[in-house]
Each structure stands twice: as structure tokens, then as C-alpha cells.
């Protein structure tokens, strides 16, 4: 299992009050599942999927700066030292 750093941005940081959390896992899904299990009570329902086992599909998940939705999504493998970033989508003008 790889040791990775989960970085919480914008709304995630506001709810959890931590910028980074270390987790171990084989893929992005392992890390996200652990995060949701650890902090489910602190997260707004809008951030989670209907079954509350994954993040809402609108949330941005980056692995080392690359969007996992263009990779293998939750099945994207991680390695030691990888950084995962969670963010709500932002827009404006």
C-alpha cells in the first residue's frame, strides 16, 4: 500500500479544518473511501454521492495535478509520495 497525502481545498478545508491528511491505499478510491469514513459527519450531503460512499461526481479529484476523471477515476493507482487534491468546482466571472 502506498502512503499518499490528501490535500483539502476550499469547501473541504472549511468543513474539515485540516489542509492535509495522510492515508495509505492502492488506488484513489481507497483513499477517498477512508476520508469519507473518517469525516462523513463533517461533510455536507451535497459533497457526497447519493449512497454516501463516494464523492459527488461534480467534485474535482486531482492526482499530482491531473484530473482522475480523465484517468481511471477511483481505480487510478497511487504510489508512495503521491498527492491527491479535493476541490469543489469553482466558477465566476
Is residue 92 in a domain? no
Is residue 7 in a domain? yes
Is residue 10 in a domain? yes
CATH number of the domain within which 74 lies: 3.10.20.30
**DSSP letter string over the chain?**
-EEEEEEE-HHHHHHH--SEEEEEESBHHHHHHHHHHHHGGGS-GGGB-TTSSSB-TTSEEEETTEEGGGTTGGG-B--TT-EEEEE------
Q: Select from 43, 28, 16 the least CA-distant residue to 84.
A: 28
Residue 92 has a pLDDT of 66
Residue 41 has a pLDDT of 87
Does the pTM exceed 0.95? no
Per-residue pLDDT tens over the stretch 3-40: 999 999 989 999 999 999 999 999 999 999 999 999 98
Give the number of domains in the chain: 1
Is residue 93 in a domain? no
Structural domain boundaries enclosing 31: 2-87
Is residue 83 in a domain? yes
Amino acid at each position: 500500500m502506498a502512503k499518499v497525502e490528501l490535500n483539502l481545498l476550499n469547501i473541504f478545508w472549511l468543513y474539515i479544518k485540516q489542509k492535509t491528511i495522510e492515508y495509505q491505499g492502492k488506488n484513489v478510491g481507497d483513499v477517498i473511501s477512508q476520508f469519507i469514513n473518517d469525516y462523513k459527519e463533517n461533510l455536507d450531503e451535497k459533497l457526497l454521492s447519493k449512497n454516501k460512499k463516494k464523492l459527488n461526481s461534480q467534485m474535482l479529484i486531482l492526482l499530482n495535478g491531473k484530473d482522475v476523471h480523465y484517468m481511471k477515476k477511483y481505480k487510478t493507482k497511487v504510489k508512495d509520495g503521491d498527492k491527491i487534491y479535493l476541490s469543489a468546482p469553482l466558477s465566476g466571472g
